[in-house]
Structure 1
Amino acid sequence: MHSIIVVPMHGTCPDDHIHLEPGDSLPFGRTARPHGPHLTIPHEGVSREAGEITTAGAYWRISNLSSAQTYVVENPEGAGEHIKVAPGRLDAPVPFEFARVVLPAGSELLSFDVWAPRHDFLDSTGPRDGAPTACAFPLDRGKRYFHVLVALCAARLRGEPHAPLPTAEELIDQLRPLWPAVSRTAVAWNIDYLAVKLRLKPAPDTVPGGGPRLNGKKERLVSLALRFDLVRETDLALLSGRGGAAR
């Protein structure tokens, strides 16, 4: 699994995502670089060399190369959780599994997302020799993406093995008790993230124009989750806010 995935501000297509391995660095700023990976933010309010992201295994660090602007890294799933990165600060560690980097740019606020889907776990209580074991399906039951996965699988978890996949409106209805601000866009974003998190391989579920069909992705997520018991009947309590992990 890639250590870090950077999603540009208008990167709605998976081909736009920038995948980084442990130890890789990604500069970002207004001026494109002719060689190597670079996240270009073409706005006159952004410094030519604004900053740099460096991956460090299962997390990442950010450097603010601006001389005057403070950057903010938000947790989109938190209750206002964020960290400030002061001008000139180097290698500030970011603790969020997915984060939004917000840059002041004149009268605007520009942003891009950074995902850290890799989780490493100790595989024994003895000495830690060698590389840690990468978890096959690193899911956090307290995150909204897991709640979306439970909602996708809910009918089949209730004993309807051939139930049709829920529509976007049905998913929203199921999720609203624990996520009042849920929207179609947010649900689609979480489904895309689950596809990355669970390492779904690209499949021939494309429309003639080449874009992904959401139903095909949903069907493969449900099939994988049920086959490997990633969600269970007891997880249905999350949808009513009784699961303890729900916000």
Structure 2
Amino acid sequence: MGRHYDNYWPPYIPVSERREQARAALASLKKKGVDCQPVAVEGRAIARTFWGIKWCRNLEAYSDFANRLPRGRSCVRHGAVLDLQIGPGAIDALVSGAAVYKVRIAIEPLPERDWKAILDECAGKVATLVELLQGRLSDSVMEVVTRPGSGLFPTPKQIDFRCSCPDDAFMCKHVAAALYAAGNRLDSQPELLFLLRHVDPQELIRQAGSGPAADASAASDAAAAGLADADLSALFGIEIDAPPPPAKPPRRTRAKG
């Protein structure tokens, strides 16, 4: 799975040494003024929330990637992904190895017909953006948005990648590490999946008023709009000050005549 010349394979490097190499490479980049967003994996699980887990499972469902993914998992767990940037249609990463390699993963926009089908099938079933991004969706919605081939997750044919390393394999371990790192990043920033596929999650919310369940949920939506400040504070983890009481009008005094 790694590059070899005349049956020569690079020597095995212990995990502790790999981690130290990655830490040193990250420190060097920061010293040079590179604004890095490293990926740190705690424990064995690369992703722990709905969108991150679904992203990783989608990768592992495709036989095209099967032979290259295990070494990518190892790399990301060892802290090799020094920087990860997810934008419209692209994932850019710096991955530590024998050197620091640049990875570019281009992902096609979600086809318009597939996005329209998602909107139509999910109409009236996604109440709030918070519910969507936290993955608190009904089974029917989850089936649609994660549907292989036409859901939000890309297929191998929609992914193009390159790496600056000398490995001439179809997918090197640095690309695989960056793909897994994207799943980890979706744990904390699930909105990046929609940005990556060039679609607006707000459209799913706007569809809530046009689906067959809209009338039945009108009372529930009205109640949600009237959440108390205490509930909002608990949900988002912030303090919301109570509005100040209205000012009393000044007292009028009778002029002495």
Q: TM-score, normalised by structure 1?
A: 0.25
Q: Which has the larger radius of gyration?
A: 2
TM-score norm. by structure 2 comes to 0.24
Higher helix share: 2
Q: Say which structure is richer in strand.
A: 1
Higher relative CO (Cα under 8 Å, sequence separation at least 6) belongs to 2
